[in-house]
Amino acid sequence: MANQLEQLKQFTTVVADTGDFEAMREYQPQDATTNPSLILKASQQEQYAHLLDKAIEDQKSTGLSGAALTESIIDQVLIAFGKEILEIVPGRVSTEVDARLSFDQVGTIEKARQLIGIYEENGIDRERILIKIASTWEGIEAASQLQDEGINCNLTLMFCLAQAVACAEGGIQLISPFVGRIYDWYKKDTGQEYSGPNDPGVQSVQEIYTYYRKFGYETEVMGASFRNTGQILELAGCDLLTIGPDLLEDLQNTEGTVERKLDPESAETAEISRLDLDEKTFRFLLNEDAMATEKTAQGIRAFSADIGKMEKLIEEKLG
């Protein structure tokens, strides 16, 4: 019998959620995602430190200094990891915009253009890149404009249907609902353990997937941030699932039948009402959802902090 990972790949595109190239080679995902935390962690590992060191040396000759030099080095590091990843995976890599721009629509657009520009200067087609942006109203609006320019986006830090609907109506390429972080919030809030179809994180992705297929949206749904393989298997059939190396290993080493849980035909017959969204409604619905409000803000803070740590690491190397 095929292992669970092989079976899952029959229903769902498997994406590696890591900055570890060796893990990608081992589990052979279609795509890969990164974020500031993963890049920071990888940059501090001996086998990947040369990518950071090369970016620093290359940018020293640009004439930039201070914050501008540090920012340019970070951009080059992100692209260096992205290029290496695209040598391994046949599909796309997600590269994240600085989380400190999460409420800056203009700044997000400018940074996304810069990142795509660097990729293209390095001979990478923009069709292989997804620009990751937080699912704030400003982030979604920025991503919608970028999509019109042919820059595909991955809206991350997503925790509720309102965020997902706004993305779909904005023509976003892909969204990343965070299963594990939703689960964490409800477990802490209620003191209960959740598993299987009762997991609130699983239910959130099921709701979004059903809504998209019911109303004919083309935006791809990629479940993310998993805590265990049970959450992953409950979402077999989702467009994509991005999975960390530890859970990829568990799936690869486990036998047992994997059943498809999500499919377009079932979604089309679901009884669900269309959500009418404008900015005011979006902000109100997000505010009404304590979990989504808290986890979005917490995620932005965490990613912003890791960008700050990356800056400090670079500044120390610059002396």
Would residue 67 count as lying in a domain?
no
Tokens of 184: 């964490």
Cβ distance 129 to 152 under 8 Å? yes
Number of domain units in the chain: 1
d(CA 213, CA 97): 28
**Eight-state DSSP code of residue 30:** S
Distance CA 14, CA 81 (A): 19
In a domain, 227, yes or no: yes
Cα 152 to Cα 41: distance, rounded to the nearest angstrom: 26
- CATH assignment of the domain containing 133: 3.20.20.70
**Catalytic one of 132, 214, 261, 295:** 132
Helix (H) or strand (E) segment spanning residue 106: helix 105-121
**pLDDT tens per residue across all 319 residues of the chain:** 799 999 999 999 999 999 889 999 999 999 998 888 888 888 888 888 899 999 999 999 999 999 999 999 999 999 999 999 999 999 999 999 999 999 999 999 999 999 999 999 999 999 999 999 999 999 999 999 999 999 999 999 999 999 999 999 999 999 999 999 999 999 999 999 999 999 999 999 999 999 999 999 999 999 999 999 999 999 999 999 999 999 999 999 999 999 999 999 999 899 999 999 999 999 999 999 999 999 999 999 999 999 999 999 999 999 8
For 170, the domain range is: 4-31+101-303
Which residue is associated with the tokens 């990891």? Answer: 81
Determine, yes or no, domain membership for 62.
no
pTM of the complete model: 0.95
The distance in angstroms from the start CA to the end CA of the chain is 56
- Flag whether 240 is in a domain: yes
Please list the alpha-helical segments (H only) found in 151-289: 161-169, 179-190, 200-214, 229-233, 245-252, 264-268, 279-288
Does residue 44 fall inside a structural domain? no
Judge whether 132 counts as a catalytic residue.
Answer: yes
In a domain, 156, yes or no: yes
Asked whether residue 73 is assigned to any structural domain, the reply reads no
CA distances from 202 to 41, 85, 189, 214 (A): 27, 28, 17, 18
